[in-house]
């Protein structure tokens, strides 16, 4: 057993990636292994839950073993195991939770259930300690789209979330309409750069409040496809509509609650258009923009491991029961 016991193993299996990583308290990533299931789900144009569960079962032990070996440590030496307990797909979550529970018992190491959304939030501090408070958080992923205000890691208030689809879901569906495969986000962004944003797609709820809605935009793109427009112009116009909505809401939140930082996390934070637009907004408002390094924008276990350190300060950290309905303020 190592004398330091200063490392956490993170395990993430909430959706279509089996991931394990070893991270220290400062956010240094000693190892990160991701077994992606993209090829399995590509045929269906989205995640097929039962196939996801089976792929997690097959890859979770080798993924964890490689993460430990790459970090040069072993199970019994760990300070704790942090494993995603929700939100996510129930079958995939149970694979991660049950595996972690068994390993923790065998190794004599505590196992803590982690809120996936808090993982994304901490991704901005991986390999860098940058998030300053108070901060406005924009979380944009395949499962979620919301704005929150953060006074400290323990004090988070939800300001507004989507009433229907997430922005990542809209990207994935538009990607499918354009025949770009799954996931749609990166491919839509690339195609958008080659087109002209000349189609007036709607910008839902642009003029009011901090809530979002993306299903009407998605349907508008679907209807417009009947006119067989140039795909690159569709992508460019769709991305421009998304950016107008996301950045207008960020501006509104920053103006209502003056903050030191704007933190943008979740898979869609990999978008170069969003990164550039957010940088321009933050420069104008004199706010620091905190983005995760690109490789930590999409689902990974390093963010889960880093979030686990916050949970060690709780009197009674959550255990390994799945919890599908967690909000950003929950542990
Ligand atoms: O955070 P994430 O990996 O998983 C969830 O927790 O949902 O986010 C996945 C989402 C997908 O919808 C994917 O299309 C989107 O993030 N995404 C992107 C980009 N990379 C991934 N969206 C826009 N631009 C990207 N470069
Ligand atoms: Zn995620």
pLDDT tens digits for range 262-290:
999 999 999 999 999 999 999 999 999 99
For a ligand 1 pocket test, name from 267, 271, 278 the mutation site with the most ligand atoms within 8 angstroms of its C-beta: 267
Average pLDDT over residues 52-59: 97
119 CB near ligand 1 (under 6 Å): no
Which of 223, 234, 245 shows the shortest CA–CA distance to 197?
Answer: 234
Is the Cβ–Cβ distance between 278 and 124 less than 8 Å? Answer: no
Q: What is the dihedral of CA 13, 17, 23, 26, to 10 degrees?
A: -100
Q: How confident is the model at residue 292 (pLDDT cuts 50, 70, 90)?
A: very high
Cα angle, residue 131 at apex, residues 205 and 255 outer, rounded to 5° = 35
Atom of ligand 1 at shortest distance to CA of 166?
12
Going from the C-alpha of 303 to that of each of 11, 19, 140, 289, 298, the distances in angstroms are: 10, 10, 15, 18, 10
- The pLDDT assigned to 279 comes to 98
270 CB near ligand 1 (under 6 Å): yes
Ranking 37-41, 135-139, 161-165, 266-270 by mean pLDDT, the lowest is 37-41
Whole-number Å distance, alpha carbon 101 to ligand 2 midpoint, is 22
Across the chain, mean pLDDT equals: 95
Ranking 84-88, 152-156, 221-225 by mean pLDDT, the lowest is 152-156
Whole-number Å distance, alpha carbon 292 to ligand 2 midpoint, is 13
Does the structure show a pLDDT above 80 at 184? yes
For a ligand 1 pocket test, name from 34, 171, 184, 235 the mutation site with the most ligand atoms within 8 angstroms of its C-beta: 171
Q: What percent of the chain has pLDDT over 90?
A: 92
Average pLDDT over residues 200-214: 97
Tell the residue number behind the tokens 């068994």, with chain if given. Answer: 102
In angstroms, the CA 68 to CA 62 distance is 10
For the record, the structure tokens of 183 come out as 């996931």
On the 0-12 / 13-18 / 19+ scale of CB atoms within 10 A, 316 is exposed
For the CA of 304, the nearest ligand? 2
82 CB near ligand 1 (under 6 Å): no
Average pLDDT over residues 5-28: 95
- The pLDDT assigned to 5 comes to 54
268 CB near ligand 1 (under 6 Å): yes
pTM: 0.95
10 CB near ligand 1 (under 6 Å): no
Q: How confident is the model at residue 3 (pLDDT cuts 50, 70, 90)?
A: very low
For a ligand 1 pocket test, name from 168, 180, 218 the mutation site with the most ligand atoms within 8 angstroms of its C-beta: 168
- The pLDDT assigned to 190 comes to 98
Average pLDDT over residues 141-156: 94
Atom 16 of ligand 1: nearest residue by CA position: 267
Average pLDDT over residues 133-154: 95
Does the structure show a pLDDT above 80 at 1? no
What DSSP state is assigned to residue 226? G
267 CB near ligand 1 (under 6 Å): yes
């Amino acid at each position: 057993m190592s004398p330091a016991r200063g490392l956490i193993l993170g395990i993430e299996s909430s959706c279509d990636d089996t991931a394990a990583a070893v991270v220290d308290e400062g956010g240094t990533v000693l190892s990160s292994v991701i077994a992606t299931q993209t090829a399995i789900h590509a045929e269906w144009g989205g995640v097929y839950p039962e196939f996801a569960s089976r792929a997690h079962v097959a890859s979770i032990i080798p993924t964890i073993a490689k993460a430990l070996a790459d970090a040069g440590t072993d199970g019994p030496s760990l300070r704790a195991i942090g494993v995603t307990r929700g939100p996510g797909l129930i079958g995939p979550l149970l694979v991660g939770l049950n595996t972690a529970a068994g390993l923790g018992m065998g190794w004599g190491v505590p196992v803590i259930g982690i809120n996936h959304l808090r993982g994304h939030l901490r991704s901005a501090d991986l390999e860098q300690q940058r998030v300053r408070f108070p901060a406005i958080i924009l979380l944009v992923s395949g499962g979620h789209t919301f704005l929150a205000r953060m006074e400290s890691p323990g004090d988070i208030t939800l300001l507004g979330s989507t009433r229907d689809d997430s922005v990542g879901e809209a990207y994935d569906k538009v990607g499918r309409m354009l025949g770009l495969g799954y996931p749609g986000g990166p491919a839509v962004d690339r195609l958008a750069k080659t087109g002209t944003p000349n189609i007036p797609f709607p910008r839902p709820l642009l003029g009011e409040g901090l809530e979002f809605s993306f299903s009407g935009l998605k349907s508008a793109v679907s209807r417009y496809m009947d006119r067989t427009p140039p795909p690159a112009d569709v992508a460019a116009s769709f991305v421009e509509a998304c950016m107008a909505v996301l950045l207008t809401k960020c501006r509104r939140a920053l103006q209502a609650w003056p903050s030191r930082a704007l933190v943008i996390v979740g898979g869609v934070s990999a978008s170069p258009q969003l990164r550039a637009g957010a940088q321009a907004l933050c420069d104008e408002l004199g706010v620091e923009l905190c983005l995760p390094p690109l490789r930590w924008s999409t689902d990974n276990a390093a963010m889960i491991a880093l979030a686990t350190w916050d949970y060690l300060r709780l009197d009674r950290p959550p255990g390994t029961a799945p919890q599908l309905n967690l909000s950003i303020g929950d542990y």
